[in-house]
Amino acid sequence: MSSVLLERGRARTRWRRWLYGGLGAAAAVGLLAVLGVLIPLDWVTTLSAVFMYILLAEGWNILGGYAGYLNFGMVTFFGVGAYTAGVLCTQYNVHPLLTIPLAGIMATVVALLVGVPALRLRGVYFAILTLIISFLTQVLVTNLDITGGASGIYMPSLPFDPFTNEQIFYYAFLGLMLLAVLLAFIIEHSRFGYALVAIREDEDPAEILGVRTTWLKTQALLLGAFLAGVAGAIYAFHTSYIEPQGTFSLDISIDVVLMSLVGGLGTWQGPVIGVPLMLVTAQVLRILAGELPFFGSTIPPEFDRVVFGIILILVALLAPYGVMGLVRRVRGRRLTV
Amino acid sequence: MEPVLQVDSLSKRFGSIVALERVSFALEAGTILGLIGPNGSGKTTLLNTLNGLYRPDSGEIRYLGRPTRNLRPHQLALLGISRTFQNARVFHTLTVSQNMLVPLVHARVHGAEAQERARQLLTFVGLERYQALPASELSGGQQKLLEFARALMTEPRLVLMDEPFGGVHPEIKALLLERIREAQQERQVSFIIVSHEIPDLLSLARTIICMSYGRIIARGSPQEVSEHPDVIAAYLGHAGGQAQTSPSSSVSSSSYFEQAGGHPS
Ligand SMILES: Nc1ncnc2c1ncn2[C@@H]1O[C@H](COP(=O)(O)OP(=O)(O)OP(=O)(O)O)[C@@H](O)[C@H]1O
Ligand SMILES: [Mg+2]
């Protein structure tokens, strides 16, 4: 009797939580959609970058956060996506819109080629291999003819005024980011997601209990690579010029990991919190620092790295499970290693 | 009738350590085999080899008449071999019911049906109240219960249990014993159960095998094995069936085995 009541009460709170969650999400999406036409140009650009990094971080999180495989290779898939769009568009006259899914597919194929051998390694070895692969692809792209070598590729520009241009990319990244967040949410509440966490926590028992661990990790990598490839393609059209040093910069890989870590690994909310926290803080501090006399008019590009480093140290000291770890603790759930 | 498991002359070495030496036995469907032996005698290694984690150096394992040599652990799980661990290995940040769903990740079972099966099995072991709790918040004994329920999720034919009663309160131990017997009798599940204490196995196992230094040194009914001179010698004369009923000898033998230090499984 009492347990029936208890169960009913629990079902009602669950239902209510979903309702409020849904309403909150709808409100946030609506707000972001309106912001695109309200805020000044440089903030449109900043938010586009935020959306792009959330997209990348959600993609990274599937393998890196849920399954606990530290992947420093996201920039490889991002770069492959950018270059696929660039090459197809400028050398094969493929319609720009069509190059975007093709970029995702190409990044997935590359992930399959590097991932299948790499995912047989565990722990530090996997992380190091992803670093090596990143360097190798950068070298490869710098030396190939089809990619334009070190001089890069000039992308065709959209036939609009600069402001409309920025808004188009704002909405493109916003839409894709929402899809990525939704995907992460679905994964987190599925058996696939539980099995990924099981791999992170104790891989041998997971396999013994029937989880095809290598295949699951590969799937997680491929999903992330597809998202990164698509992000890379849109980035390429956005910046209008791609070259190996910037597009394959290891900074991108590292930033994605840091932002996910700060937000909270293995939660769909982690990137949504961590990315804006870091990018907006860096942006605000950059503006403030511009006022200081000793920087003059030029703030060195390393400025962001210093800010990210300080945020990382603060998070490591104050919130070892990221911001989401704090949120869960407030909700009364204990997290243990 | 064909045995569930047929093990022939299985050997496994780790460097100079002989963990298994020409181990042979058969397991009939729906029966329980007890496995005892001092620390480091190869019990866990045997289970690890049976579910494909280790490859034997020589010998053959047939599960339902089929050689398992080239099968990976997850493939054996799919065919119906399930497992619990010496130190409970639950997935800590997952909730209790999420733990239950992990083995069904590839199963063609609808989500609602999988959750219903999880709920029933959790009720079976008395954990239904803890479904939404992270598994890390369960006590050690409760984690053993969760492992047992989780092992039944795939509706296995054979369950390998490594020291299910180790560090478990008598109350939970009694529940576990009863549930194992029910699973055996009502679902025709076969078990291999590793234990240090013969008395725990008396009521369950028809046959007990005693291992020492990787070899089977005795096999037979619980009574026969506990009276076997080699078994008594292997347990330093303390842990024979009769001797173990006296509390002092049982304490001294188990504390000896704690210190003897096998490997951390
Ligand atoms: N992965 C491994 N690598 C190296 N040696 C191992 C490994 N696994 C087991 N061994 C060795 O094999 C022997 C048998 O170990 P095993 O764990 O099977 O013993 P056990 O009977 O389960 O002991 P316990 O009662 O302490 O659990 C030990 O000497 C152990 O050191
Ligand atoms: Mg053992």
* Domain boundaries of chain B, sorted by first residue: 5-90+156-261
- DSSP label at residue A242: E
| Residue A272 domain flag | no
Closest in A192, A201, A266 to B105, CB measured: A192
Separation between Cα atoms, residue B164 and residue A265, nearest integer Å: 33
Domain range holding A202? 42-249
B104 with A191: Cβ contact below 8 A: yes
Tokens of A84: 């696929």
Question: Do A57 and A259 meet the contact criterion of CB atoms below 8 Å apart?
Answer: yes
| Residue A227 domain flag | yes
Predicted pLDDT at B242: 39
Is this complex's ipTM strictly greater than 0.90?
Answer: no
Separation between Cα atoms, residue B20 and residue A336, nearest integer Å: 36
| Residue A235 domain flag | yes
Model pTM score: 0.88
Task: Say if residue B106's pLDDT is above 80.
Answer: yes
| Residue A286 domain flag | no
Separation between Cα atoms, residue A261 and residue A275, nearest integer Å: 10
Nearest CA of chain B to the CA of A176: how many Å?
A: 27
Separation between Cα atoms, residue A151 and residue A324, nearest integer Å: 42
Confidence class for position A324, pLDDT limits 50, 70, 90: confident
Would you tell me how many other CB atoms lie within 10 Å of the CB of residue B58?
12
pLDDT tens digits along A296-309: 667 777 788 888 88
pLDDT tens digits along B211-258: 999 999 999 998 888 888 888 888 755 443 333 333 333 333 333 333
> Ligand 1, from B10, B11, B14: best to mutate by most atoms within 8 Å of Cβ?
B14
Q: Tell which residue, B145, B158, B152, B155, has the closest CA to residue B191.
A: B158
Q: For residue A239, what are the contacts with CB-CB under 8 A and spacing of at least 6?
A: A155
Kindly give the distance from the C-alpha atom of residue A285 to the centroid of ligand 2, in angstroms, as a whole number.
57
Cα dist from A244 to A79, A139, A181, A302, whole Å: 8, 8, 29, 19
Taking each helix axis from N to C end, the angle separating A162-188 and A213-239, rounded to the nearest 10 degrees, works out to 170
* Chain B interface test: which of A3, A4, A7, A191 (most B C-beta within 10 Å): A191
Separation between Cα atoms, residue B185 and residue B176, nearest integer Å: 14
Average pLDDT (A23-34) is 89
Q: What angle (nearest 5°) sits at the alpha carbon of residue A271, between those of residues A269 and A273?
A: 70
Predicted pLDDT at B257: 36
A contact set with B (CB within 8 A): 191-192, 194-195, 197-198, 201-202, 204-213, 216, 266, 333-337
Exposed e or buried b per residue across A152-171, where buried means at least 16 C-beta atoms within 10 angstroms of its C-beta: bbebeeeeeeeeebbbbbbb
| Residue A335 domain flag | no
Separation between Cα atoms, residue B223 and residue B241, nearest integer Å: 7
pLDDT tens digits along B17-34: 999 999 999 999 999 999
| Residue A300 domain flag | no
Q: Report the share of chain A in percent with pLDDT over 70.
A: 93
| Residue A317 domain flag | no
Name the CATH code of domain B5-90+156-261 (choices 3.60.15.10, 3.40.50.150, 1.10.3660.10, 3.40.50.300).
3.40.50.300
pLDDT tens digits along B151-160: 999 999 999 9
Average pLDDT (A122-149) is 87
